[in-house]
Structure 1
Amino acid sequence: MSHRPATFTPIDADWTVTPIAGPLPAGFPSGPIAAVVPGVIHTDLLRAGLIADPFDGDNEAAQQWIGDTSWRYAANFEWHDDGSARHDLVAYGLDTVATVLLNGHEIARTENQHRSYRWPVGAWLVDGENELLIEFAAPVPEVTARAERYGALPRVNHHEYNQLRKTASHFGWDWGIDVAGVGIWKAIGIDSWSGVRVASVRPLVALDADGTGVLTAHVELERDGTGVDNELAAVVEVADESHAITAVADVRSDAGDFAVEARVPDAAVWWPVGHGEQPLYDVTVSIGDARWAGRVGFRNVRVDTAPDAAGRPFRLYVNDELVLVRGVNWIPDHAFLTEVDSDRYARRLMDAVEANVNLVRVWGGGIYESDEFYARADELGLLVWQDFLLACAAYAEEDHLAHEIEAEARENITRLSQHPSLVIWNGNNENIWGYADWGWPALLGDRTWGDGYYRGLFPALVRELDPTRFYSPASPYSFGDYLHPNDERNGTMHIWDVWNREDYTTYRAYTPRFVSEFGFQGPPAWSTLTRVVHDEPLDPYGHEMLVHQKANLGNEKLERGARGHLPDPTSIEAWHWSTQLNQAHAIRFGVEHFRSLTPHNTGTVLWQLNDNWPVVSWAAVDFDEHRKPLWFAMRDAYAPRLATIQPRSSAAAIEAAFEGSRPAQDVLALVLINDTDAAFDGAFEVSRQRLDGTVLAQSSLAASVPARGSVTIELPAEVRDVADAAHEVIVAHAGAQNSGFEPALWHPAEVAGQGLDVEALTATAEQIDSGYAVTVTARALVRDVFLQVDRVDPRATVDRGLVTLLAGESARLEIATSAQVDPAVFTRWPVLSSANSLHAGRPA
């Protein structure tokens, strides 16, 4: 939803861009190049045929000159005076250090991508043709010069991105391409108006105990300066599909801001996905001819971090109901921000919802997202955690930066205040942790580093502008003085020793209260990878492959992380599949462990949902929108009802702990998590069986799980005591159909040491209306059946993935594609993959 006034006329035609200064390739044109606004320099140059695809091969290195060059955008536009008292030039997004000139007059200088600007320009507009020029400083030399001027500050990565209010990840990240550029990345135009203008509205909501929805519209006005100050009536209307509530208030002639309250009896309550419906109310604020329109949902939000016996929790409540968070971290969905349209936003957020996600954290190295992002989250019931945009670095608190940070924070707190999906504001990503653990104090001395923002400015602004949301100073954060910021006993935690140093089984060594970042890498889909990587032969350590692997020693960590879990790959196809599969196994392992700690643990937020270019990364959905094996593992592990078998301490071991030893995890238990509104009462059938299906022991366990609760049931010794780890599996499944619990499997051996038969799976394929269907049948255990359908058609999708079959079981996987191929192609390696197939490097 856009809040551009109806009087706004965009300047969006006949733009050109010209290099001003800096390095240019030989033969590069010195004259104007056609440009698109909104847009950015890289897409303009690509569209003009002056550069190759920045994402392809090693073009990133060849195109670094773009960020070292300054550029001038220019447009001639027609304007005629309509008799309005004010004519403002409004720029919703300039990236980043810009000089704005209208008809030769310097209007302003800007240096913040994350805010908008409005300037009265009636004195410089002329009737007829006008010329608008915006000159952008080269961003890379600019941040370097500022570091020299103000002093370099600690940061990650190789550019001084923390010197400027520009998207940090534009300068490259451990998953992101280095494409720092410039551009008019949001709309720009003329707004002509008279009398008063609604500068902003903060429609803050609450729910009274009797079910009345209370909307308090905080309205900021701007007057045209003509001296005509008439008293006006402000009309606030709150309406759903069936009725409307109107509140009217007189506005003093000198009032700059005021509040109007509207009360909605028996308001329909907005709930997160999985907890209820998402009714939305249209809100309009009218004052004379000025009008603002938006949408709200009535709900309350709070977060409990009060100390308890185990430390400090992080419990998120919506409408006083605890939300067990199943989350993902979000980065900008394209390295060039203007390439993400509303349809792409909708597809990506559906990727989250269909994976049983209920919260998306907008990470602080990206942007305050578009109106379309939050509006879609409102409709879907996806909760949003929004970082302020300070990430993995120290930030100066002196005027040259503090003024801009306060301005962008004020604007975005106000802009986003209407969205019921937004529940948490977070001060920064890892900066307090960085100060505590990354050696910053020795580098900083007595210089400022951002603490004044996190513990002073931001909480004050949230209290002033939107006290209906919770504020967290940082992620991770322990919510107490003298506590380490990344302490598993308190608040939110990031776990990165797994992936960087430790095996993924180390997840089980942690008992965190809330994990707001953790992740494991894997490559994108084969078609996504090979579209941009052209090494001959294709190799994990090929030059272009490593261009598309931004993590330090990333491919070494992929191989180390899979060692001992999966057989060593014997081909590039097996390397691709095994590293994808290991990513999925690692995250499912971690999520199931953390969720099994419910209610001690109340949430996980996976790093990360999405990519901003084709790259080996932590994403569940790759840049070309393929759902990686990780996505299917996340969907299963995030199921509202989850059955998982976990190691636990027996009663005897717990008793021994009183003598000073840590309880050993010496038994297996069935842990049931029921994140639904209905209690579960039933039985689970558990068995120990050979991979060929022979049942060795079995038992029936009564299970009762309250709504939004969990239960742990120790498995009987005859079921849990494995005699032959390589050839046995423990299975637990609900006795009743449609219980919502998928079967839980415990594999005593890793895939690498498991006696999996590469010939155990048979598959048939047929053509159907939507594409093709593959039916797979197992004569013995087959783990993680997956169809790499993009190898046949890069646009194809499949409805199921990582399907594990016990002996005698079958499954049908349906493929949506318009490609006309022999159906049998979907039954052959490497399109048809499984963990079994890795035992010979490929199936027989």
Structure 2
Amino acid sequence: MSLRHPPLNDGWTLTADGPVPVELPAGGLPATVPGCVHTDLLAAGLIDDPYLDDNETRLDWIGRTDWTYRTDFHWSQDGHTSTDLCFDGLDTVATVLLNGTEVGSTANQHRSYRFPVRHLLREGANTLQVRFTAPYTYAEALREKLGDRPGAYAEPYAFIRKMACNFGWDWGPTLVTSGIGRPVALDSWTGHRIAAVTVLGDLDDAGVPRLSVTLDVERDGPAPLSGSVAVVGRCVVFVGSEDEDRLSFTLPVPDAEPWWPHSHGTQPLYDVTVRLGEDTWNGRTGFRGVALEREAFRISVNGEPVFVRGVNWIPDDCFPTRLTRQRISDRLDQAVAAHVNLVRVWGGGLYESDDFYELCDEKGLLVWQDFPFACAAYPEEQPLYDEVAAEVRENLVRLSPHPSLVLWCGNNENLEGHADWGWQDTLQGRTWGYGYYHDLLPALCAEIDPTRPYWPGSPYSGSPELPPQDPSRGTVHLWDVWNRVDYRHYADTAHRFVAEFGFQGPPAYATLRRAVSGPLSPESPLVAHHQKAEGGDAKLLRGLGDHLPQPRPGDFDDWHWLTQLNQARAVAFGIRHFRSHTPYCMGSVVWQLNDCWPVVSWAAVDGDGRRKPLWYALRQVYADRLMAVRDGSLHLVNDAAGPWEGTLRLTRRGLDGTVLAEEERVVSTASRDVTRIPLPASLATPEDGTREVLVAELDGVRAVEFYEEDTRLALPEARYDVSVVAQGDDPAAGYRVTVTARTLLRDLALFPDRLDGAAEVDDMLVTLLPGESAVFHVTGAVLEDPDALGRAPVLRCVNDVVGP
């Protein structure tokens, strides 16, 4: 039996092991555990918020300093024979001392540690110290020893098992952390204890749910074992021999219902109880089958192919201990509300918290989990190899119960880097990660978690002999768009599965205003500091192409509106193209859902949690039913459970609303299918494309397609009527904003955060024909001047910047 003592989270102090540019208290700085040095210094007012202005640039010294955490705690005899000191997570390179004696060392943020300490504990007062070596010191020394390796950034993140984006990325700051990142506690036990439980819920060949459990036991001597496994009214009782330390069981669970992604069904979850003597492990799982057709890269759940409507997930904060379950839930709710059904946990971050995966289980979000390798050649020498093996084993076991997790992926872009980025000349035969991605990781996945497919990396075409970016097989990352070419080039090729693509746009006005104390101007150095992509500001403007006009020099409002809108349009264009090729193409994973701080980036939700126009565009193009015009045809994309039937109405109209040509036809598109409808010449070819628009309507879904780019349209000056009405007697209920168009209005949008940072709107990017109305609901704040919701720069449309 075992006894987990209360966490040792209180009474910690923090000291620097060397000179630092701030004055620390003589007795040590009060420290929060779990936490990190940055957050402790910030809480004490000793550093400025690194997310604001350019404060980040003055904090490099933190990651180059050694630090010591210390606490005193009371202990008394508890009747057990063994006691372990358990760290759920340390960031990263640490030496642990109990009462002055070293008990162990660590060098991996991605795993936990357990040290036997019974012989060192004293009745009464005890002292615990954790001495952290600066991450830069460790990583740079290992780089010197093993030889440098190429990567996307001149930082040593490949030489330390730590969140790579801590060292800066093209959307993130350089904030290299140290600290006790997860709880620490004493764990006492006698005879034996449950060391680990691997829980796998899938379906057998007949489609019946089944539970597989592997129980790992730690013991302090020979003794017989007995216990049970229970789930959904089923129970297996077992007896183990005196020297067994691993037991495995499989039992059918016919009364369980299958778990589905939310786009395909419900998410039943079931409690699992494992008992070993007096010890108990409690968990929760769901039952589903997962398969991957490798050449097509088609993911199936319970035998049903799933078109992946995905987003990439990065760490939601540079300091993960600040993430609450509620904040993670809010972010994932934003994904679900945008009709996302898969989240890819990107390889430059972390294995996320238990909260993350539990919430994905509950919300029906599939999880693609990268192992933490990204954008660099990773050495395979010791001590890194054994650290990788240990972290992978632990996380395969930890995450095994979660039905949402459907794919393990070896890395992000390292296979492409080795093949296409000139790494081979630099490496000159040194290791770069091949042995991880093609040997170690697949072997461990096959041993511990054979229920989920493993994929060596992304992009990847299914074989080391093939080019990684073959559009006809496997996964691709499309970065020519954004970096070099116009977003119309998304339509040049039909791809099997697009695992990364995206376009930048600035954060919400209120987010940028909070982050920058000076003038808001794209030329401002402080605004520029919140743009981390190489040449990013120039690419923003170049990306406007002939789609939208260039903002006037120094006009922040137009720059902000046009670049946000162009981001939304670029990504939506790509998704419409990918989805129109279903089932040849079976996935679209946008880079990216979220941000870790206030920054100009590819995110749909910015660093303060505000939805950018891209989020509203995602909700439109990731809806179950979508219309896409491509190659002279209208594609009806139906990813719903039932058929899409009705009378399709197609009209070619003048911009004044006049119907110039019209056709109606009865159509039907089967579930999870696409129907291609060639456009008749009267609709496909306008008389004057600058003054006409194509409108398609079916069963409440509408698509408005212009024949020319906006810069060539003869858009009229925007004329409309606006009504702003409080919704009920309670001002907190928000406002109903009704806009009635007197002329065509292109991509109407409201930005209430310009009036109050807490205000948000329910819809955006709505095109109205003359005489039509749209109703927007603004909630979250009581506004001093509600009528401002009907005026620029809060209310915008393309007509503001294009037209007479």
TM-score by length of 1: 0.93
Given that residues 22 and 46 in structure 2 are in contact (C-alpha distance below 8 angstroms), is that contact kept between their aligned partners in structure 1? Answer: no
Displacement of 1:530 after TM fit? 1.3
Displacement of 1:264 after TM fit? 1.4
Distance 2:204 2:137 in 1: 54
Distance 2:206 2:385 in 1: 43
Distance 2:249 2:196 in 1: 13
Specify the alignment match of 1:631 in structure 2: 615
Specify the alignment match of 1:370 in structure 2: 353
2:274 is the alignment partner of 1:291: no
Distance 1:122 1:682 in 2: 73
Specify the alignment match of 1:361 in structure 2: 344
2:753 partner letter: D
2:585 is the alignment partner of 1:601: yes
2:237 is the alignment partner of 1:248: yes
CA change 1:806–1:331 in 2 (3 A) is: same
2:769 is the alignment partner of 1:806: yes
Distance 2:238 2:22 in 1: 65
Displacement of 1:251 after TM fit? 1.4
Displacement of 1:211 after TM fit? 4.5
Write out per-residue CA displacement over residues 45-84 of structure 1, whole angstroms, 9 at most, x where no aligned residue.
0001101111111101111111111111111111111111
1:589 partner letter: F
Task: Give runs of aligned pairs for residues 672-821 of structure 1, distance below 5 A.
Answer: 672-734=636-698, 736-737=699-700, 742-769=701-728, 770-821=733-784
Secondary structure of the 1:50 match is coil
Displacement of 1:131 after TM fit? 0.6
Greater alpha carbon shift after TM alignment, 636-645 vs 258-267: 258-267
Task: Give runs of aligned pairs for residues 321-360 of structure 1, distance below 5 A.
Answer: 321-360=304-343
Distance 2:311 2:780 in 1: 28
Write out per-residue CA displacement over residues 15-64 of structure 1, whole angstroms, 9 at most, x where no aligned residue.
1100102x521645564000000001111000011011111111011111
Secondary structure of the 2:802 match is helix
2:20 is the alignment partner of 1:24: yes
2:399 is the alignment partner of 1:436: no
Greater alpha carbon shift after TM alignment, 268-277 vs 817-826: 817-826
Match of 1:837 among 797, 800, 803: 800
Displacement of 1:704 after TM fit? 1.9
Secondary structure of the 2:740 match is strand
2:301 is the alignment partner of 1:318: yes
2:444 is the alignment partner of 1:461: yes
Given that residues 745 and 798 in structure 2 are in contact (C-alpha distance below 8 angstroms), is that contact kept between their aligned partners in structure 1? Answer: yes
Distance 2:556 2:146 in 1: 48
Specify the alignment match of 2:223 in structure 1: 230
Displacement of 1:183 after TM fit? 0.5
Distance 1:433 1:693 in 2: 50
Task: Give runs of aligned pairs for residues 197-236 of structure 1, distance below 5 A.
Answer: 197-223=193-219, 225=220, 227=221, 229-236=222-229
2:434 is the alignment partner of 1:451: yes
Specify the alignment match of 2:10 in structure 1: 13
Match of 1:177 among 173, 180, 191: 173
Structure 1 gaps of 5+ residues are 306-311, 649-667
Given that residues 692 and 779 in structure 1 are in contact (C-alpha distance below 8 angstroms), is that contact kept between their aligned partners in structure 2? Answer: no
Displacement of 1:486 after TM fit? 1.0
Specify the alignment match of 2:145 in structure 1: 149
Displacement of 1:210 after TM fit? 4.5
1:745 partner letter: V
Distance 2:82 2:12 in 1: 25
Displacement of 1:780 after TM fit? 2.4
Match of 2:100 among 98, 104, 111: 104
Secondary structure of the 2:402 match is coil
Given that residues 773 and 815 in structure 1 are in contact (C-alpha distance below 8 angstroms), is that contact kept between their aligned partners in structure 2? Answer: yes
Distance 1:141 1:829 in 2: 52
Given that residues 9 and 34 in structure 2 are in contact (C-alpha distance below 8 angstroms), is that contact kept between their aligned partners in structure 1? Answer: yes
Given that residues 2 and 188 in structure 2 are in contact (C-alpha distance below 8 angstroms), is that contact kept between their aligned partners in structure 1? Answer: no
2:288 is the alignment partner of 1:304: no
Given that residues 427 and 472 in structure 1 are in contact (C-alpha distance below 8 angstroms), is that contact kept between their aligned partners in structure 2? Answer: yes
Write out per-residue CA displacement over residues 653-681 of structure 1, whole angstroms, 9 at most, x where no aligned residue.
xxxxxxxxxxxxxxx11101110121123
Distance 2:200 2:787 in 1: 58
Given that residues 211 and 265 in structure 1 are in contact (C-alpha distance below 8 angstroms), is that contact kept between their aligned partners in structure 2? Answer: no
Given that residues 756 and 783 in structure 2 are in contact (C-alpha distance below 8 angstroms), is that contact kept between their aligned partners in structure 1? Answer: no
Specify the alignment match of 1:665 in structure 2: none
Distance 2:710 2:652 in 1: 17
Displacement of 1:208 after TM fit? 2.9
Given that residues 428 and 473 in structure 1 are in contact (C-alpha distance below 8 angstroms), is that contact kept between their aligned partners in structure 2? Answer: yes
Given that residues 68 and 131 in structure 2 are in contact (C-alpha distance below 8 angstroms), is that contact kept between their aligned partners in structure 1? Answer: yes
Specify the alignment match of 1:547 in structure 2: 529
Specify the alignment match of 1:591 in structure 2: 575
Distance 2:456 2:746 in 1: 43
Distance 1:430 1:689 in 2: 46
Match of 1:54 among 46, 50, 56: 50
Specify the alignment match of 1:611 in structure 2: 595
Specify the alignment match of 1:44 in structure 2: 40
Match of 1:575 among 555, 559, 562: 559
CA change 1:26–1:292 in 2 (3 A) is: closer
Distance 1:522 1:339 in 2: 26
Distance 1:591 1:411 in 2: 36
Distance 1:837 1:534 in 2: 28
Displacement of 1:249 after TM fit? 1.2
2:405 partner letter: L
Distance 2:118 2:2 in 1: 18
Given that residues 783 and 834 in structure 1 are in contact (C-alpha distance below 8 angstroms), is that contact kept between their aligned partners in structure 2? Answer: yes
Displacement of 1:808 after TM fit? 1.5
CA change 1:5–1:614 in 2 (3 A) is: farther
2:801 partner letter: L
Q: Give the alignment's Cα RMSD to 1 decimal.
A: 1.4
Count residues in correspondence: 798
Given that residues 365 and 390 in structure 1 are in contact (C-alpha distance below 8 angstroms), is that contact kept between their aligned partners in structure 2? Answer: yes
Task: Give runs of aligned pairs for residues 254-265 of structure 1, distance below 5 A.
Answer: 254-265=243-254
Write out per-residue CA displacement over residues 272-299 of structure 1, whole angstroms, 9 at most, x where no aligned residue.
1121110011001001111111111111
1:683 partner letter: T
Given that residues 102 and 130 in structure 1 are in contact (C-alpha distance below 8 angstroms), is that contact kept between their aligned partners in structure 2? Answer: yes
Specify the alignment match of 2:129 in structure 1: 133
Structure 2 gaps of 5+ residues are none
Displacement of 1:758 after TM fit? 3.2
Write out per-residue CA displacement over residues 66-124 of structure 1, whole angstroms, 9 at most, x where no aligned residue.
11111111111111111111110000110011011110001111100000000110011
Write out per-residue CA displacement over residues 480-512 of structure 1, whole angstroms, 9 at most, x where no aligned residue.
342101111111000001000111111111211
Write out per-residue CA displacement over residues 556-586 of structure 1, whole angstroms, 9 at most, x where no aligned residue.
0000001311122121111011100000010
Given that residues 330 and 609 in structure 1 are in contact (C-alpha distance below 8 angstroms), is that contact kept between their aligned partners in structure 2? Answer: yes
Given that residues 314 and 513 in structure 1 are in contact (C-alpha distance below 8 angstroms), is that contact kept between their aligned partners in structure 2? Answer: yes
1:202 partner letter: T
2:262 is the alignment partner of 1:269: no
CA change 1:351–1:218 in 2 (3 A) is: same
Given that residues 535 and 543 in structure 1 are in contact (C-alpha distance below 8 angstroms), is that contact kept between their aligned partners in structure 2? Answer: no
Distance 1:772 1:49 in 2: 39
Secondary structure of the 1:399 match is coil
Greater alpha carbon shift after TM alignment, 24-33 vs 328-337: 24-33
Given that residues 426 and 472 in structure 1 are in contact (C-alpha distance below 8 angstroms), is that contact kept between their aligned partners in structure 2? Answer: yes
Given that residues 644 and 745 in structure 1 are in contact (C-alpha distance below 8 angstroms), is that contact kept between their aligned partners in structure 2? Answer: no
Given that residues 9 and 191 in structure 1 are in contact (C-alpha distance below 8 angstroms), is that contact kept between their aligned partners in structure 2? Answer: no
2:545 partner letter: R
Distance 1:63 1:336 in 2: 14
Displacement of 1:595 after TM fit? 0.6
Distance 2:590 2:531 in 1: 19
